[in-house]
Structure 1
Amino acid sequence: MRSYQIYWIGDEFAHYFYGREQNFFQLFFESSMNGNGEKSVIEKQIQYITEKFSLRSIASVLNEALAGRESFSSENNHLYTIELPKQKGKAILSAEEKCLYLKASGSYEVETVFFHSLKKLNACLFAVDFERKNYGWLEPIKKEILFK
């Protein structure tokens, strides 16, 4: 099973660290380690660079994008499920104020459906998969061209 944590990075930090995303991954990874004496400092840094999710906005975006799919269901505006036909895959998204948690199994298509829908919420959503050491933006941030 693949597990992702999705954070909303503040615009100024997302643009400043664009191209150096391993810094975000390292920060979130250190936060996930237990027994770290510096955990409170790391948590404060994460609180500072991340934005809070609006559970109502998440529900609205997901319901608008996925309501037509018979394989989509939601519970209490914080738990969403997609099951692909013929048991090809299943994903469960759990929404909290500071982080979204996605667990997926089977085809990669199932998590892509959630990622594609969540991109409509904000361009600065950053996903991490600690087990596979994968990380990245759900939608790549376009750098402004300052000099022509």
Structure 2
Amino acid sequence: MRKYEIFKIKSEYQSFIMGRERLLFELLAVGPSTNYQEIEYLCDQLNEMEIDQIIRHKLSKCFDKIDSHRNEYRLTHLIKGEVFIKLGTHCIEVYCQGSRMLDLDLFVALSTATDRFFAVMNEQEECGWLKPVKYSERMILENTLV
């Protein structure tokens, strides 16, 4: 089973974090409850209705069955496997069992909403943007913020 923690980085810190993702990983890898003040400072609070809409409308096309209760979702695909999603205030916890295509389906759906989602996979010590900003876009972004 693969576990991800996904955060929505505040827009004012996105350009600063680019190129420093490993430092952010070290901060987030400890766990959202341990470094809550830092996470609250760097990450936006999640909009539950926005995430719910993404899961129900965009992912319903990719999955055979979607069950939900409060802020928890179980998405089932008969061939690919299962995804369990739990929404927190600043973090989306995701558990995937089965094909890695499950992860990709979720990442693509979330990245359609914004390019500020950042995922951490502690067990494999991996991290990254769900929708990486291209170098030319990054230069434009940095130049407009200066």
TM bin, normalised by shorter chain, reads: 0.7 to 0.9
Alpha-carbon distance, 1:66 to partner: 2.2
SS at 2:13 equivalent: helix
User: 1:1-148 counterparts in 2 under 5 A?
Assistant: 1-31=1-31, 39=34, 42-69=35-62, 71-76=64-69, 78-86=71-79, 88-141=80-133, 142-145=137-140, 146=143
Distance 2:8 2:32 in 1: 17
3-state SS in 2 of match to 1:60: helix
Confirm or deny: 8 A CA contact 1:83 1:110 kept in the other structure.
no
- In structure 2, the CA distance between the partners of 1:70 and 1:89, relative to structure 1 (3 Å rule), is closer
Output the CA distance in 2 between the equivalents of 1:114 and 1:95. 14
Question: When the two structures are aligned, how many residues end up with a matched partner?
Answer: 138
SS of the aligned residue for 2:19 comes to coil
Q: Offset of 1:32 from its aligned partner?
A: 6.0
Per-residue deviation at 1:77?
5.1
- SS in structure 2 opposite 1:144? helix
The unaligned stretches of length 5 or more in structure 1 are: 34-38
Give ranges in structure 2 of 5+ residues lacking alignment: none
Aligned-residue RMSD, C-alpha: 2.0
Three-state SS of the structure 2 residue aligned to 1:91 is strand
Between the aligned partners of 2:21 and 2:125, the Cα distance in structure 1 is: 12
Deviates more, 1:128-137 or 1:106-115: 106-115
Comparing 116-125 and 66-75, the one that deviates more: 66-75
Deviation at 1:59? Answer: 0.8
Change in 2 beyond 3 A, CA 1:124/1:112: same
Q: 1:86-123, CA deviations, whole angstroms, 9 ceiling, x for partnerless residues? A: 4x321111112210000011110011111111112221
